[in-house]
Amino acid sequence: MLKTLDKNLNKLYKFSGYIAAAFLILVAVFILIGISSRMFGFYIRGLAEYSGYCMAAASFFALAYTFVENGHIRITLFLEKLSGLKRKFIEIWCLSVATFFSGYLAFYFIKMLIISYKFQERSEGADEILIWIPQTSVAIGSTIFFVCVIHQLILIFKKFDD
């Protein structure tokens, strides 16, 4: 059962990476449309805001994928000098701290999303979009990252038992 869960979570992280890539493509499209529209003398409202929303979505959806693929900056320079029980203890401590902070981050992004939805807040930009719409991707991405960090912590404990 744990292998199936591990496999499905890794698929989720990879899918999250694909979503991040799609949002990066949208950033490029919005920027190119903005440049083209200025060249041809017309204006499209909100393109800068939409590219910013897509950049935030890409950043948060990419967190879990890059964490699993060891793309994040880690303390490996310090960990390389340790071995055995000391190394496992430091890895567990670091992942425990990361779990706490990523959970805190996910909790408050979800709380922010709920408040924005409840009060129907709108952005202050030219588009005046309901702000909960772009906040949804940030909340989902941070939650997937939180699950990813917990997953990695459980895997370290599992290696510790072996």
Question: Which residue from 98, 144, 138, 150 is spatially nearest to 114, judged by alpha carbons?
Answer: 138
pLDDT of residue 74: 67
Report the predicted TM-score, pTM, of the whole model to 2 decimal places. Answer: 0.88
Q: Where are the domains of the chain?
A: 2-161
Query: pLDDT tens digits, residue range 93-126?
Result: 988 999 999 999 999 999 999 999 999 999 887 7
Query: pLDDT tens digits, residue range 23-59?
Result: 999 999 999 999 998 888 888 888 888 999 999 999 9
pLDDT of residue 23: 97
The stretch 52-69 carries a mean pLDDT of 94
Query: pLDDT tens digits, residue range 70-87?
Result: 876 666 677 777 787 888
pLDDT of residue 97: 93
Per the prediction, the chain carries an average pLDDT of 89
